[in-house]
């Protein structure tokens, strides 16, 4: 038996299926997708409307065999942030190296996709990748790279520096790969269309191997507010995270540690949590010195809030109380002598007066770290994470994107309030579009997005599709043969994907219920629209019936009565109309 | 003979009809002039408003009435059809033309109307569509010593004796609208089937029994029922009806006698004193007629008839019971088993005697 260690690059080389590079057709789709997403992310970071140009050309037609597989050259150019010269080799030549290991929403998450695409190109064609990038400085850097798979290191074959006369900023990636464009074509086009839908502020241009140009022009330059990087939420951390934080922190006590490194934890919550978790001690009243008593009284006197709650307290009062007390901690002492005051206010006072002691996080024993993490999950006093680290599209942009790509007759969009699962904030956006370019099929068209990435595979396993199937659509006057598109967008710092290939979202109950409520919301609005439309059609039919028959009745009656002039029925027709308008 | 009095009746009726139609139109016209949606009120023809009246001996409509308004989206189409039918009828009557239901259907298309034979106009005005000169396709005929005087254009005053054609004379619009001049007959014999009608003429039944022969050709058309009614009323002739010996034949006789629920809004279509002469179920037994077994549909129909208020009479009850007992039926032609003239020589005299002629 031989044991050997493999590098991350080697691991993904051997297991490329899990990253979505299953066959030549999937591989070409995944390559384009990963690189387009990197480009969009890098422009989003700079808060500039992205321009992404993709060109796929057939490199060598001899290599194309009967199965349709051939060698293609893929070139992707963007106007994003660009990559600084020293990071270029690692960013493209090392698996799991990236700028996205932070807690804010981005399309990519694993730092894997782009390099994986290049790795795939290398193993199928054994040709280097060419990267050109500039961050808008006076220079453009050009690298020719290959990946040392066994060592997970970039091999720099060549590097050039050019003058950046036009102050160009962005990145160009160009390399060769084996693929099957004909089979992947419909998915690629669908992917680009849906990307354009969910990124209405982006210009996307694609030239396919046949030389056909697909242009997805932006409908707006407005962009959603960029997400801010956020701290970890206590509910979402594990022992490893705490250990890493302890290694880097400069805090000397747990009270400060909690406040500084966790999301939405302030002095009050930090105090209550540490007390709840048993990591907080207060001074012993039996050993209090006169200056300690003076400091306590002074702290009460100085604060309006404490004065109001504790009333006028003198040093003599405290001293006499202390004489009678047998308490071993100031917390117990205060609690028994001020029974009407809430515990967190007493804690606040004691910490302000300097009677609170918490451990130095560096001195926590492993068992204590485990207990700390366990208590974090159990404590119910943490605030839910806020959504500033998320960047949902927003109702306006979502509407713009749908109008641009589907031109529907009716559209309803809804953004749910931020919610959390397991300490990860998420926001669900839903939309329903009716008519227009939406095809009439046997079933609804479902567009699934996660962090603005279209999800195209494994639809049946996705939570959104399950939710949609569970809804009784007849209640909303909807039948499955209607031209209807339902859109679900889940934004999160951690989208609950089921696979590395980012194809579908797992059944998290919290996420599921938000999706359900979001779809119900837009479905209700669709129902109102459909009812109104039905009503209008009915009224039109009604009016046409009246205007068809009333003149005939007038004519025949005139004849029967032996009169010459027909009665004026305009009044009657108008009255019908007026009634309808009131009724509508 | 009351021919003098009768002579004017057809013309009188025409005038009355035209007056009625004008009133009908004026009512609607005035409503519209006042800026109101036109409407009419008429007796309800719904099943809960149809009653069998023992006094009148036919189905009649009860007191419930319905309002048909052009304001109602569901009423306006039949309402327009009714007004159009009125308009069309008045044109026919004024111009003294007749028309069939098919004609009406196609004439309606000229006005972008669809036409259904719906009895709204009949119900609203109380006249039968035959009064408006609208007839279904005719199949029935009459033969015998009756002289009629035409009132139709081009034939006014012209007389015809109904023995003048050996196939009989078709009971059509001109015959129905004619006046009775004179007759030498003392009874009417109505026959369901054309074959037997021809046989009766050949065998000179009209002479031998001094009878007017009427062919109903299956279920008698409304015009024929009205004509039989007139023969009975105006000439006071007793009426005897001969049909096949099955529930359907019985009902042909019954509709001539007591009318149908569908025509409950009309009068003058029934002949309550007419008598059904057979073929009875008991005849099948007594005369040992060749017969067919009753079908399940026949049996079902017989059970329906037992619940029908028109079948309360002893004769009817007895025959229904016998049909159900022997489970057999026979056609009129079944008598041919005993020779072609048997029915005229033996059966008919016996029956007429039985019915008290």
From B21, B35, B73, residue closest to A560, measured CB to CB? B21
From A552, A559, A571, residue closest to B113, measured CB to CB? A552
Q: What is the CATH number of domain B184-354?
A: 3.40.1360.10
B5 versus A198: which is more confidently predicted?
A198
Handedness of CA A231, A235, A239, A240 (dihedral sign): negative
**Arithmetic mean of pLDDT over chain A:** 87
Position A398 scores a pLDDT of 93
B114 versus A234: which is more confidently predicted?
A234
Domain boundaries, chain B: 3-47+66-135, 184-354
Any residues with CB less than 8 A from the CB of B81 and at least 6 apart, and which? Answer: B108, B113, B114, B115, B116, B118, B120
Packing angle, helices B296-306 and B247-258, rounded to 10: 30
| Confidence at B357, pLDDT banded by 50, 70, 90 | low
Confidence check: pLDDT of A529 > 90: yes
From A550, A556, A572, residue closest to B87, measured CB to CB? A556
- Give pTM, 2 decimals: 0.64
Position A32 scores a pLDDT of 94
Position B3 scores a pLDDT of 37
What digits encode the pLDDT tens for the residues A118-133?
A: 989 998 899 999 999 9
Q: Which of A545, A547, A557, A566 to mutate to test the interface with B (most CBs of B within 10 A)?
A: A557
- CB atoms under 10 Å from CB of B295, counted, come to 12
Position A101 scores a pLDDT of 57
Confidence check: pLDDT of B120 > 90: no
- For the record, the structure tokens of B84 come out as 């159009």
Position A216 scores a pLDDT of 95
A571 Cβ under 8 Å from any chain B Cβ: yes
Q: Please state, for a pLDDT cut of 90, what percent of chain B lies above it.
A: 12
| Confidence at A511, pLDDT banded by 50, 70, 90 | very high
What digits encode the pLDDT tens for the residues B283-320?
A: 888 888 888 998 999 999 999 888 888 888 888 899 99
Q: Is the peptide bond before A175 cis (omega within 30 degrees of 0)?
A: no
As a whole number of angstroms, the distance between CA A19 and CA A120 comes to 11
- Asked if A332 and A322 count as a contact pair (C-beta separation under 8 A), the reply is no
From A550, A561, A571, residue closest to B29, measured CB to CB? A561
Chain B residue with minimum CA distance to A564: B29
Confidence check: pLDDT of A177 > 90: yes
- For the record, the structure tokens of A447 come out as 């567009």
| Confidence at A67, pLDDT banded by 50, 70, 90 | low
Helix, coil or strand: residue A217:
coil
Helix, strand and coil content of chain B, in percent to the nearest 5, comes to: 45, 20, 35
State ipTM.
0.71
Position A163 scores a pLDDT of 93
What digits encode the pLDDT tens for the residues A22-46?
A: 888 989 999 999 899 999 988 988 8
As a whole number of angstroms, the distance between CA B113 and CA A261 comes to 83
**B280 has catalytic annotation:** no
Position A99 scores a pLDDT of 65
Which residues in chain A have Cβ-Cβ distances shorter than 8 Å to B25? 556-562
What's the average model confidence in pLDDT over A565-575? 82
Residue labelled with tokens 């009656």 = A557
- For the record, the structure tokens of A439 come out as 């095809």
Q: How close A564 comes to chain B (CA, Å)? A: 11
Confidence check: pLDDT of A343 > 60: yes
Chain A residue with minimum CA distance to B29: A557
Helix, strand counts (H, E) of chain A: 18, 16
- Asked if A30 and A124 count as a contact pair (C-beta separation under 8 A), the reply is no
Q: Please state, for a pLDDT cut of 70, what percent of chain B lies above it.
A: 95
Cβ distance of B83 and A553 shorter than 8 Å: yes
- Residue B230's Cβ-side half-sphere holds a number of Cα atoms within 13 Å equal to 23
Distance, C-alpha B97 to centroid of its chain: 21
Cβ distance of B25 and A561 shorter than 8 Å: yes
Confidence check: pLDDT of A100 > 70: no
Same fold, B3-47+66-135 and B184-354: no
What's the CATH fold of domain B3-47+66-135? Arc Repressor Mutant, subunit A (1.10.10)
Position B57 scores a pLDDT of 78
What's the average model confidence in pLDDT over B34-51? 84
Confidence check: pLDDT of A507 > 90: no
Position A308 scores a pLDDT of 86
Residue labelled with tokens 């008593």 = A293
Q: What angle do CA B254, B260, B262 make, to 5 degrees?
A: 165
Domain boundaries, chain A: 8-216, 234-378, 395-529, 532-583
A561 Cβ under 8 Å from any chain B Cβ: yes
What digits encode the pLDDT tens for the residues A2-24?
A: 787 777 778 777 777 777 788 88
Q: Is the peptide bond before B279 cis (omega within 30 degrees of 0)?
A: yes
As a whole number of angstroms, the distance between CA B60 and CA B1 comes to 31
What digits encode the pLDDT tens for the residues B69-97?
A: 888 888 888 888 888 888 888 888 777 77
Any residues with CB less than 8 A from the CB of A549 and at least 6 apart, and which? Answer: B70, B76, B77, B79, B80
Q: So what CATH class is A395-529?
A: alpha beta
Confidence check: pLDDT of A62 > 70: no
What digits encode the pLDDT tens for the residues B4-38?
A: 344 456 667 778 888 888 888 888 888 888 888 88
- Residue A202's Cβ-side half-sphere holds a number of Cα atoms within 13 Å equal to 32
| Confidence at A582, pLDDT banded by 50, 70, 90 | very low
B23-44 burial, b if ≥16 CB within 10 A, otherwise e? ebbbbbbebbbeebbbbbebbb
Which residues in chain A have Cβ-Cβ distances shorter than 8 Å to B80? 549, 552-553, 556
Q: What is the CATH number of domain A8-216?
A: 3.30.565.10
What's the average model confidence in pLDDT over A393-418? 92
- For the record, the structure tokens of A568 come out as 């004026």
| Confidence at A286, pLDDT banded by 50, 70, 90 | confident
- For the record, the structure tokens of B132 come out as 């408006």
A572 Cβ under 8 Å from any chain B Cβ: yes
């Amino acid at each position: 038996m031989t044991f050997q260690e493999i590098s991350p690059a080697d691991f993904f080389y051997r297991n490329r299926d899990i990253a979505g590079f299953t066959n030549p057709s999937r591989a070409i789709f995944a390559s384009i997708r990963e690189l387009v997403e990197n480009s969009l992310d890098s422009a989003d970071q700079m808060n500039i409307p992205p321009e992404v140009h993709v060109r796929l050309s057939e490199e060598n037609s001899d290599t194309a065999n009967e199965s349709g597989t051939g060698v293609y050259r893929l070139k992707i150019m963007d106007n994003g942030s660009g990559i600084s010269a020293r990071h270029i080799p690692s960013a493209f030549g090392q698996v799991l190296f990236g700028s996205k290991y932070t807690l804010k929403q981005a399309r990519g998450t694993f730092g894997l996709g782009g390099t994986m695409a290049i790795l795939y190109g290398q193993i199928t064609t054994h040709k280097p990748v060419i990267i050109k990038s500039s961050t808008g400085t006076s220079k453009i850097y050009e690298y020719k790279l290959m990946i040392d798979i066994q060592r997970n290191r970039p091999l720099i074959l060549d590097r050039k520096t050019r003058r950046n006369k036009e102050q160009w900023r962005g990145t160009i990636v160009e390399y060769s790969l084996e693929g099957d464009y004909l089979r992947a074509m419909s998915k690629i086009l669908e992917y680009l269309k849906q990307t354009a839908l969910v990124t209405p502020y982006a210009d996307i241009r694609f030239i396919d191997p046949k030389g056909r140009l697909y242009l997805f022009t932006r409908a707006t330059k407005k962009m959603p507010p960029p997400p801010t990087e956020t701290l970890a939420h206590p509910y979402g951390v594990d022992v490893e995270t705490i250990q890493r934080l302890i290694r880097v922190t400069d805090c000397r006590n747990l009270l400060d540690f909690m406040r500084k490194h966790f999301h939405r934890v302030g002095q009050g919550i930090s105090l209550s949590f540490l007390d709840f978790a048993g990591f907080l001690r207060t001074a012993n009243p039996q050993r209090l010195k006169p200056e300690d008593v003076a400091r306590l009284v002074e702290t009460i006197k100085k604060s309006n809030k404490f004065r109001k709650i504790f009333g006028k307290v003198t040093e003599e009062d405290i001293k006499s109380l202390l004489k009678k007390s047998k308490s071993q901690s100031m917390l117990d002492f205060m609690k028994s002598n001020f029974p009407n005051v809430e515990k967190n206010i007493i804690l606040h006072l004691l910490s302000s007066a300097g009677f609170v002691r918490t451990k130095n996080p560096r001195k926590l024993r492993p068992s204590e770290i485990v207990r700390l993490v366990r208590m974090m999950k159990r404590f119910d006093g943490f605030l839910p994470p806020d959504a500033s680290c998320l960047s949902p599209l927003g109702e306006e942009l979502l509407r713009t994107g749908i109008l641009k790509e589907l031109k529907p007759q009716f559209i309803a969009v809804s953004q749910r309030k931020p919610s959390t699962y397991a300490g990860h904030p998420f926001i669900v956006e839903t939309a329903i579009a009716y008519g227009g370019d939406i095809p009439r099929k046997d079933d609804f068209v479902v567009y699934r997005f996660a962090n603005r990435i279209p999800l195209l595979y494994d639809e049946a396993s996705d939570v959104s599709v399950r939710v949609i199937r569970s809804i009784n659509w007849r209640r909303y006057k909807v039948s499955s043969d209607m031209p209807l598109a339902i859109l679900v967008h889940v934004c999160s710092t951690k989208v609950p994907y089921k696979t590395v290939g980012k194809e579908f979202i797992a059944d998290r109950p919290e996420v599921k219920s938000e999706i359900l409520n979001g779809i119900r919301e837009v479905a209700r609005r669709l129902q109102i629209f459909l009812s109104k439309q039905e009503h209008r059609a009915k009224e039109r039919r009604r009016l046409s019936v009246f205007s068809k028959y009333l003149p005939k009745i007038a004519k025949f009656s005139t004849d029967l009565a032996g009169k010459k002039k027909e009665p004026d029925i305009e009044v009657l027709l108008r009255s019908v109309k007026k009634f309808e308008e009131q009724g509508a | 003979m009351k021919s003098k009095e009768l002579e004017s009746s057809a013309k009188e009726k025409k005038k009355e009809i035209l007056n009625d139609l004008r009133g009908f139109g004026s009512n609607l016209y005035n409503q519209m002039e006042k800026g109101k949606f036109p409407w009419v009120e008429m007796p309800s023809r719904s099943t809960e408003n149809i009653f069998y009246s023992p006094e009148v001996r036919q189905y009649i409509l009860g007191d419930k009435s319905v309002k048909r308004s052009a304001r109602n989206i569901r009423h306006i189409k039949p309402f327009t059809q009714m007004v159009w039918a009125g308009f069309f009828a008045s044109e026919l009557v004024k111009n003294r033309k007749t028309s069939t239901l098919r004609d009406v259907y196609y004439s309606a298309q000229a006005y972008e109307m669809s036409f259904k034979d719906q009895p709204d106009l009949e119900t609203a005005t109380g006249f039968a569509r035959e009064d408006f000169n609208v007839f279904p396709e005719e199949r029935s005929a009459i033969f015998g010593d009756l002289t009629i005087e035409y009132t139709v254009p081009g034939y006014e005053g012209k007389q015809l004796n109904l023995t003048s054609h050996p196939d009989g004379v078709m009971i059509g619009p001109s015959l129905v609208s004619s006046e009775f001049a004179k007759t030498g007959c003392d009874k009417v014999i109505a026959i369901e089937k054309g074959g037997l009608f021809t046989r009766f003429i050949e065998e000179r039944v009209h002479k031998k029994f001094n009878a007017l022969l009427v062919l109903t050709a299956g279920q008698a058309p409304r015009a024929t029922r009205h004509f039989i009614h007139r023969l009975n009323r105006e000439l006071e002739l007793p009426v005897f009806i001969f049909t096949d010996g099955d529930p359907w034949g019985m009902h042909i006789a019954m509709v001539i006698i007591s009318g149908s629920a569908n025509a409950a809004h009309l009068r003058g279509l029934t002949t309550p004193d007419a008598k059904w002469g057979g073929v009875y179920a008991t005849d099948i037994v007594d005369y040992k007629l060749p017969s067919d077994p009753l079908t399940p549909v026949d049996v079902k129909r017989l059970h329906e008839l037992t619940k029908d208020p028109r079948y309360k009479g002893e004769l009817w009850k007895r025959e229904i019971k016998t049909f159900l007992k022997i489970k057999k039926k026979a056609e009129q032609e079944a008598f041919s088993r005993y020779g072609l003239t048997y029915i005229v020589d033996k059966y008919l005299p016996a029956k007429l005697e039985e019915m008290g002629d």
